Structure 1
């Protein structure tokens, strides 16, 4: 007989509403935290040592919080995205609970943003726009637009977007027949949604390098991974059709 599934390690109670987003913050000094965003705009900072909400932030005018991300340069800075059409940058240092900056995206959908930090301390943010089929990429320090990806035809609402930096340390062998071959200079971006397809863009390329057709229903999420042993780059996509497709990526110079 197979073993029964294990019970949770512990349960965190008191969110007060539907939990829509989660993000771990476990590096650096201090206890590990789990950030959660609720359907009523509350952001809880759960101390995973005490297993209690250390702070509760009321955000996004009471609208649902659909994405959270803590910046690596400081445990006291994080980014939230809400259904009030805004992305907010928070500063929690020295006991503050301050929104230091915000960006009006205009997006009324459920597509989460994606953030890509660089070694120099900069960060790029990819976010859906008021046109639910488009993705805009901005530089976070100044919200300067970098590029906007616009589809050639009506594709329906985007459900997910993901930016990714390919690691130079991965030494790929010659591509196999089943590998997705793309020409890119290190950064790529994937989008997916109502039209059931995954589109892979090279950096600042306004047309996709590849359109991956496999799923029979809406694609809700995508993820990237580098494997060192064996050397491999992977793209995974999860769909309403209850399947997860995993693609091997070969970057051509």
Structure 2
């Protein structure tokens, strides 16, 4: 018999609004941290040793925070994206809570940014723009635009994306409103390939760069995986049907062993990534789950999964950490 799904390790309360974005920072000096972004513009910095918010950053003029990340290999360098059409850079060192720089994106959509630290030490940021179908890639130290990526055909609004470093240079995978996924060659500002993956908008996607395989979800009840062949052409691979429709976010754990989905049905689902085998349905939340994130802890036994919900709570789980 299969083991029953676990209960959460603990619940973080006090967000005061829907939790829309999560990001772990568990390595380096200091306690493990979890950053969360709320529907009312607050960024909570949770100390996971005390399980309390050690500070709250009021940001984005009270507009929803939809994406968070850290960069420069530092927990004190935070970047946030809000629905006030701004990306903000924060200095959190030595107790500071200061926005040191910001970029006006012009985007009023829900597409999250993607961050890439390049081999040359510079950091690239891909962000949506006021042109609904466009991706702009900028170099963060100067906000200099590297390129603008815009499909030739009408694929509708940009919905989701991920950027990574390939041998040939930066590559970006983007999901669009018409259900298509496009693989972009950032250096040459052109698409490698396009694949119609879903009949509905691509709400979320993630890519396992090592296996050259990705996964996407939409408002339907199908998760679809796809592969990148040697010519950087997208090919349909596998799919799995879920009990209920609607996926807010998909995340593949860094070790490539498991996949987590944030469901519109209030549940978190966990799959084996290799064969999309269902492993567990994690039930705690009383409203839709907006965000899932895996911790970046080097110790496999300390790996965590966090989920943020419209019910204003964050659930933290320890699952398959030994696998």
**Could you tell me the TM-score, scaled by structure 1's length?**
0.87
Count of aligned residue pairs for this structure pair: 232
Contact 1:218 1:241 in 2 (8 A): no
| Residue of structure 1 in register with 2:321 after alignment | none
| Residue of structure 2 in register with 1:112 after alignment | 112
Q: By how many angstroms is 1:252 displaced?
A: 4.2
Correspondences of 1:46-65 after superposition (within 5 Å): 46-65=46-65
| Residue of structure 2 in register with 1:174 after alignment | none
Q: By how many angstroms is 1:226 displaced?
A: 3.4
Q: Determine which of 218, 231, 235 is the counterpart of 1:239.
A: 218
Q: Determine which of 180, 189, 193 is the counterpart of 2:176.
A: 193
What is the rounded CA distance, in whole Å, between the counterparts of 1:128 and 1:57 in structure 2?
A: 23
Gaps (5+ residues) in structure 1?
169-184
What is the rounded CA distance, in whole Å, between the counterparts of 1:4 and 1:118 in structure 2?
A: 42
Contact 2:173 2:182 in 1 (8 A): yes
* CA offsets 1:143-183 (integer angstroms, 9 cap, x no match): 001100122233221111211113x5xxxxxxxxxxxxxxx
What is the rounded CA distance, in whole Å, between the counterparts of 2:150 and 2:231 in structure 1?
A: 24
What is the rounded CA distance, in whole Å, between the counterparts of 1:154 and 1:119 in structure 2?
A: 34
Correspondences of 1:56-205 after superposition (within 5 Å): 56-166=56-166, 185-205=168-188
Q: By how many angstroms is 1:55 displaced?
A: 0.6
Q: Give every structure 1 segment of 4 or more consecutive aligned residues whose post-TM-superposition deviation is greater than 4 Å.
A: none
* CA offsets 1:115-147 (integer angstroms, 9 cap, x no match): 101233310000000011111000000000110
**SS of the residue aligned with 2:94?**
helix
| Residue of structure 2 in register with 1:182 after alignment | none
Q: Indicate the structure whose relative CO is greater, using CA pairs within 8 Å and at least 6 residues apart.
A: 2
**SS of the residue aligned with 1:57?**
strand
Change (3 A) 1:22 1:61: same
**Could you tell me the TM-score, scaled by structure 2's length?**
0.69
**SS of the residue aligned with 2:229?**
strand
What is the rounded CA distance, in whole Å, between the counterparts of 2:10 and 2:115 in structure 1?
A: 30
